[in-house]
Structure 1
Amino acid sequence: MRPRQLVSSGGPWEAVVGYSRAVRVGDRVAVAGTTAARPEGGVVGPDDPGEQTREALRRIAAALEGVGAGLEHVVRTRIMVTDISRWEEVGRAHGEVFADVRPASTMVEVSALIAPELLVEIEADAIVD
């Protein structure tokens, strides 16, 4: 079995739920659902799905760096939003980051995220060449 590299966000729920912010095995990296939640409570960009998207992607970039990868290695993103009518704000923020990378991406509306002030959650998969 290949060794697993784990990245922690330092959040208290990782140990309780049993997950890591990111996991790398070989050339593959999976980044868990990432939001703009602040550890002390609240969110970055309240009522602004574009800013929440940017913050989630900043955190995804940091997680990727923790296992020797970068945004340029992302091949897939999954975006969950609580209000699909605001898709364009989320899409533009995603495009700012991935304009040249252009990973396969899916955006879906969900009934809720883990806290009501969260509007966006993003997962990412990467392959490091």
Structure 2
Amino acid sequence: MSLMSNRNNISSGSEWEAKIGYSRAVRIGQLVSVSGTTASGPDGPVGGNDLGEQTREALRRIEAALTEAGASATDVIRTRMYLTDMSRWEEAGIAHGEVFGEIRPATTILEVSALIAPDLLIEIEADAVIGD
């Protein structure tokens, strides 16, 4: 059996998925990878300039994608957080800990010069392995 026959692409419904060629998440077997996720909204980011709130919204969206793929936050083994201002890392870290404090996935925090929109402060990726 090829990996492709066991592949499930999860869509958010965004027009950009087809244009750019990506999925909100992909599940192959027990592995789920969630694409970079922000708090973008039609009128600017959910949470405005509050990094903690942007982080919480991105994590809510990640949890929704995980659920659609048959996983949950407890299955997450790795996250990556991309911040536009590393001096504010603790705000993001506290929000991350609200979801993953007991789960404790491997985590990386990186500073980037910009995200796709200037008012976005964080983008988060997640990988999960679904247990038996």
Shared fold by TM > 0.5? yes
Any residues of structure 2 matched to 1:52-91 within 5 Å, and which? 52-91=54-93
CA drift of 1:41 comes to: 3.9
Report what 1:24 is aligned to.
Answer: 27
Cα shift at 1:35 = 0.2
Once the two structures are overlaid, the 10-residue window that deviates more, 79-88 or 5-14, is: 5-14
* 2:17 matched residue in structure 1: 14
**3-state SS of paired residue (1:62):** helix
Q: Taking structure 1 as the reference length, what is the TM-score of the superposition?
A: 0.97
SS of match in other structure, 1:78: strand
Q: TM-score, normalised by structure 2?
A: 0.95
Structure 1 window deviating more from structure 2 (60-69 vs 2-11): it is: 2-11
Amino-acid identity (%): 62
Gaps of at least 5 residues in structure 1 are none
Deviation of residue 10 (structure 1)? Answer: 1.1
As a proportion of its length, which structure holds more helix?
2
After superposition, the CA RMSD in angstroms is 0.7
What's the counterpart of residue 47 of structure 1? 49
**C-alpha distance in 2 between matches for 1:48 and 1:9:** 24
Q: Runs of 5+ in structure 2 lacking a partner?
A: none
Query: How far did residue 12 of structure 1 move?
Result: 1.4
Letter of the aligned partner of 1:110 in structure 2? V
After the TM superposition, list the runs of 4 or more consecutive aligned residues in structure 1 that deviate by more than 3 angstroms: none
